[in-house]
Structure 1
Amino acid sequence: MSIKATASVDPADQQKVVDWFRELAEHVRAVDFAAARHLFAEDFLAFGTFSDFVYGREHTEQNQWRKVWGTIDGFTYRLDDVKALVSPDRLFAVGLAIWDSTGFTPDGKPFDRKGRTTVSLARTAIGEPWVATHTHMSLFRGTPDVSHGSKPARS
């Protein structure tokens, strides 16, 4: 058997990966942490801006999401460009996406804040929504790593 990173992906699996990115972006824009929690396994593992590894959804929310989501605006994934790699049993996937957002300088001037996300996803049955088991989000080179906006959290 030959391993190929570009193996074809079932369209329904691809759509579920796109749906995961779409929904996460909606919650980031709304600064709605509670609504986003179901997208992530309780014990998921992330790389973090503020710590090397971040263990668990609760810890990630407190130490990553709450330091970023309310400081940016217009967070949107380029959904037409989302890539998915799906395991042969269709219960594990890796999703890759580019995002666009607006950050703010200390004096309130907007700047382009673009980056990328790699997420590992799992599910218990084919057709079920994907749940993140790992995420890695990073800014493109040259993008300021701190935004100074201030939007209230919905949750």
Structure 2
Amino acid sequence: MTYLPGAGIFGNLGAIDKLVKGLGALKVGQQFLDQMKNAPSLVKVREVNGTDELPHQRQVDGGVEGGNPVAAGKQGKHVIGHKNNNQSKEKGEKKNTWTEGTNGVPETQEGWMNGEDVPDRNGEFGTVKEYDTGKVVGSEGETWIKVHTDRYGNIHGYPIHK
């Protein structure tokens, strides 16, 4: 028999019921957060092809069916001539870039859908994937790409040597 202070010898069954319901809500909440990573965005996503200029921010879609939206600003850091890539260079940051004249959006979406799950910086799985495109996609001859997802399910990717 459980004794809860202020609830008598039989306990407060209403409080226990609320606790059980609350624990169930936490479990459902975690499942909801897990599903958010791959849920379609409710924000308007601009369609682009692989050679279109990217906006400085917002989300874009490269036409890969079922692909997550690509965060244009983060993707832009890896596009030659993009404002965000130029700002990274000014800060002295070296970013791997897509071949000149391309933005890598379709490859990034394909990489997220078909890539191999790899650990992130903290050794955790679920937010980073690597994918061999089988063709040169990077400005230094890279054929592999690394794709990251954020907590909202938006992705961005860049070429890597493997």
- Normalised-by-shorter TM-score class: 0.3 to 0.5
Larger radius of gyration: 2
Higher strand share: 1
TM-score w.r.t. the length of structure 1 is 0.34
